[in-house]
Structure 1
Amino acid sequence: MSSEINGESQGENQGTLARIPGLAYIGLVLTPLFWAGNAVVARGTVDSIPPLSMSFWRWVIALAILLPFGLPGMWRHRHTIRQRFGSMLALATFSVAAFNSLLYFAATTTTATNIALINATIPIFVALLAWVLLGDRTRPLQALGIALAIIGIVIVVARGELSVLTSLQAQPGDLIMVAAVFSWGLFSVLLRRQAVPLPALTFLTTQILLGTLVILPFYLADLMFFSGGFELSRGTALPLLYFAIFPGILAYAFWNHGVYRIGPARAAIFMYLTPVFASILATVFLDESLGLPHVVGGLLILAGLLLATQTGRRAHYRPQS
């Protein structure tokens, strides 16, 4: 969810943690590490766990962990949730349901490195959609940053070969990941337009509940007619626990704490570590090779992000992948 959701209510959640020196920076380093691990673990287990099963059970586990803490707030704010139900359902659909499901589908046909590189362009898509849908003014440096990042995406997707683009032979997973990032961009823009006045924990718990319900019919259809589900074992249970706890709950908590302590602009810099961590983890655990297109495309994406996110415009960033 966005780092700017109900910032005024986040202070009540900081408590003693806020007084520990350096904890915010440690958390902001661990957060992109967890996001990178999400792509790497998904790529490594997608043959054992179908994407929709991966997405559905990740959120069921996360919901089971959060519900005892979030349910009292949901009850206290039930009138607000009822009044803004349509907005919350749309936000949950684009973030919890669509983004994560598409990311896991992407893992079936593309590398963890590509997933992380494309995923790192979320601020670019947020800025672009905010310009198109909200009429945000785009400064020249921001426009240049968006253009550089898009070129970087094209190089990564095309694997440095023009023929991939001209013959439309891009990996399906790369295109699915672009759709996932686009979905998160829509979520971020809708969040700005339809902000829901709820405490952070209440908002997150409600979003996960609604998003899980959106995934449920697709998961059941996939279970009955397509994938047939998966066999529960240590090799499948541990990845699901990782998805729920680390890139889900802990990344959200660390990200919000970091934003609260040092501000969104400085915290956003740590987001650039995600593809770095992903390339290292993918090389070590998945034997993925880092080629010249990844380096060139990644540098262009990084340059684009630096330009697009340091021009004074406010953008929403994700704590969960």
Structure 2
Amino acid sequence: MPSETSKPLWLAYTGLVLTPLFWAGNAVMAKSVVGEIPPLSMSFWRWVIALTILLPFGLPGVWRQRRVIREHSLSILALATFSVAAFNSLLYFAAVTTTATNIALINATIPIMVALLAWLLLGDRTRPIQALGIGLAVLGILAVVARGDLSVLTGLRAQPGDLIMVLAVSSWGLFSVLLRRQAVPLPPLTFLTVQIACGTMVILPFFLVDLLFFSGGFELNTSTALPMMYFAIFPGILAYAFWNHGVHRIGPAKAAIFMYLTPVFASVMAGIFLGERLGLFHVIGGLLILAGLFLATRTTELRRKYR
């Protein structure tokens, strides 16, 4: 079997272009089907399907590493809660009351949130250029949340979905910070398999309560089954694999540039498939966020992530 470094470099670049496309598709698809599939059902079944696909490949490693998994069980549970369970569930809840474009723009600030929380919680040194980047990105988020109207903020009239997406990004930031403090020495595939399994179990009781007392679940048909397969395979498994391969081949700094494509892809797809129109506040907020990302990630190594 050829080694990672012996594979053509164009494969890494292709994967890094497809990854933000899949992430953008996650937001657009969630918005398009959230009226048919409740958010918790979307989140739960996405990971059940992904886990079913991964288990034949990941289970042998889980068995070999069972002692390490047992020793780090609490850390694994905490990491799975903030990433697999909370982040994705909150993103799908956000889709109920905000646009796919807003979801993608706010989601693009994850590196900013990681840098901010690392500074606040870990005492990481923040260089002036990074602080400027964080400040610009925060202004960009406020522009998107306020929809260009300052009274939205002063009157506390922001769309719930936008605020939920801020919570989702904060959850991923906490996961990233916790991952640094409580690193789990597992191979990537084994770690991903265990994370998804634990995260799915965390979602399970909330999903059951929602199923029995609130949403009642959803009808399984072509219009719901195909999106669920997309959620599991493309932004879940493939995006994770492509991102890590790309980072390994060309380095985190160059790979970070491709993250800027996510809101671009999302706005185009949302316009085509959902009829969403870009407002001036999207343009201003997006430019501020992208400028902030550029400045804040110039000297910050991005960690691997899956969504």
- TM-score (normalised: structure 2): 0.98
Q: Is the 8 A contact 1:18 1:261 kept in 2?
A: no
Letter aligned with residue 316 of structure 1: R
Of 91, 97, 117, the residue aligned with 1:109 is 97
Cα offset, 1:315, TM superposition? 3.7
Q: Does 1:163 align with 2:151?
A: yes
Q: Distance in 1 between matches of 2:4 and 2:131?
A: 41
Q: Does 1:276 align with 2:278?
A: no
Letter aligned with residue 306 of structure 1: F
- Cα RMSD after superposing both structures: 1.2
Cα offset, 1:247, TM superposition? 0.2
Letter aligned with residue 187 of structure 2: P
Q: Does 1:300 align with 2:300?
A: no
Residue matched to 2:55? 67
Of 280, 300, 303, the residue aligned with 1:313 is 300
Q: Percent of counterpart pairs with the same letter?
A: 76
Residue matched to 1:218? 206
Detail structure 1 runs of 4+ shifted over 2 Å in the superposition. 13-18, 312-318
Cα offset, 1:17, TM superposition? 8.0
Cα offset, 1:21, TM superposition? 3.2
Q: Distance in 1 between matches of 2:156 and 2:303?
A: 32
Of 235, 241, 251, the residue aligned with 1:247 is 235
Q: Is the 8 A contact 1:113 1:282 kept in 2?
A: yes
Counting only pairs closer than 5 Å after superposition, residues 45-124 of structure 1 correspond to structure 2 as 45-124=33-112
Of 185, 200, 209, the residue aligned with 2:173 is 185
- TM-score (normalised: structure 1): 0.94
Q: Is the 8 A contact 1:73 1:202 kept in 2?
A: yes
Q: Does 1:256 align with 2:232?
A: no
Change (3 A) 1:18 1:159: farther
Q: Distance in 1 between matches of 2:4 and 2:302?
A: 28
Letter aligned with residue 58 of structure 1: R
Change (3 A) 1:109 1:305: same
Q: Distance in 2 between matches of 1:317 and 1:122?
A: 12
Cα offset, 1:18, TM superposition? 4.6
Residue matched to 1:3? none
Of 188, 200, 205, the residue aligned with 2:193 is 205
Letter aligned with residue 291 of structure 2: A
Q: Distance in 1 between matches of 2:42 and 2:110?
A: 22
- Residue by residue over 1:121-142, the C-alpha shift from the partner in whole angstroms, topping out at 9 and shown as x without a partner, is 0000000000011110011110
Q: Distance in 1 between matches of 2:5 and 2:28?
A: 30
Describe the SS at the equivalent of 1:180. Answer: helix
Which consecutive residues of structure 1, in runs of 5 or more, have no partner in the other structure? 1-12
Q: Distance in 1 between matches of 2:300 and 2:175?
A: 17
